[in-house]
Amino acid sequence: MNGRAEYPTDRRTVLKGTALAAGGVLLGGLLGLTPADRAWAAAMPKVYTRADWKARNPRNRIEVRPQGPTHIVVHHTATGNVSDTSTSHAAALSRSIQRYHMDHNGWSDTGQQLTISRGGHIMEGRDRTLRAIADGGHVIGAHTANHNSHTIGIENEGTYSTVAPPDALMRSLVDTCVWLCLVYRLDPEKAILGHRDYNATNCPGDELYAMLPQLRKDVTSRLREQLSHLSRVTGVELTLEQLPTYPPAPTSERVATFYHGPAVGDLDDSL
């Protein structure tokens, strides 16, 4: 990606000097940060760490690249649309996904970088994800075949082929996308895609896929508010129009009868 807009606060220092800790709380406080740093950090939603949901250690060291992703890929887990919206259920879901990806698929760790439960709880997925985001880098995952090197994946609990996701999940999905777009300087209208935009799959389901245009609008609106706030605290006008352009994404969806693949392909060198 070339032509990134230059901002007073570099993306690698968005959360510099803070530590990501239990329950998505930023330890170390924000007192030592500049007003701009505090504004960037404030965009981070509550994210439960791997320690919170008692993740297993990955089999191998997870690859992290210094360049951030160019696109956010929205998935559904193709699991049941459960009524349990508790944090404990969200943690159990993350453990179940990790167990399947490691023991059944033979991967090093959970494939996606982030997971959102039907209760709206945001969970760290693949190892080192939160630290990589804080540094403006990218953990290579296993969620979108042949495009894992430049996409960050969000799994949304449930199956959304015929029903829409609950409001709590969608609110957290907006929050997550706003945060990622700010950290990585992504334009929501260009950067937010569904799994089926890249691979032949039903994922993220017809109903959730149909909601992506509104998701992009909601994220864009919130992002403009965040940039306006940053403009006030930095004294420099920052607008969405200053965000960079991206390599073209596919223009037509590819729908297949299976729910949730493919996640890795011939061009992927890290599982």
Query: Is 4 domain-assigned?
Result: no
Pick the residue with more confidence: 6 or 173? 173
Instruction: Kindly state the average pLDDT of the residues 94-108.
Output: 96
pLDDT of 257 above 70: no
> Which range of residues forms the domain containing residue 88?
11-242
pLDDT of residue 233: 77
Alpha helix positions (H), 100-254: 129-134, 167-184, 188-191, 206-210, 212-234
**Is residue 170, in this structure, part of any structural domain at all?**
yes
Among residues 59, 56, 74, which one has the least CA distance to residue 113? Answer: 74
pLDDT for residue 53 is more than 70: yes
Confidence (pLDDT) at 91:
98
Note whether residue 251 is domain-resident: no
The pTM of the full predicted model, rounded to 2 decimals, is 0.82
Number of domains, the chain: 1
pLDDT confidence tier of residue 38, bands split at 50, 70 and 90: low
Task: Please tell me the predicted confidence (pLDDT) of residue 131.
Answer: 94
Q: Residue 163 belongs to a domain with what CATH number?
A: 3.40.80.10
> 212-234 and 35-42 are packed helices; what angle lies between their axes, rounded to 10 degrees?
160
29 in a domain, yes or no?
yes
Q: In the predicted model, is pLDDT for residue 18 greater than 50?
A: no
153 is a domain residue: yes
Q: What would the mean pLDDT of 162-185 be, rounded to a whole number?
A: 96
The pLDDT assigned to 12 comes to 38
Pick the range with the lowest mean pLDDT from 22-31, 126-135, 225-234, 240-249: 22-31
Please tell me the predicted confidence (pLDDT) of residue 202. Answer: 93
Asked whether residue 264 is assigned to any structural domain, the reply reads no
Q: Alpha-carbon distance 138 to 116, whole Å?
A: 19
Quote the pLDDT of residue 5.
32
pLDDT of residue 227: 84
Average the pLDDT over each of 10-19, 25-34, 113-122, 214-223 and give the range with the smallest value: 10-19
Residue 205: partners with Cβ closer than 8 Å, 6 or more residues away: 76, 78, 159, 160, 161, 162, 259
CB distance 152 to 113 below 8 Å: yes
Confidence of residue 244 (pLDDT cuts 50, 70, 90): low
Model pLDDT, residue 230? 77
pLDDT digits (tens, 9 = 90+) for 109-140: 999 999 999 999 999 999 999 999 998 999 99
Q: Does any domain span residue 258? A: no
pLDDT exceeds 60 at position 30: no
Q: Is the pLDDT of residue 1 over 70?
A: no
Residue 263 lies in a domain: no
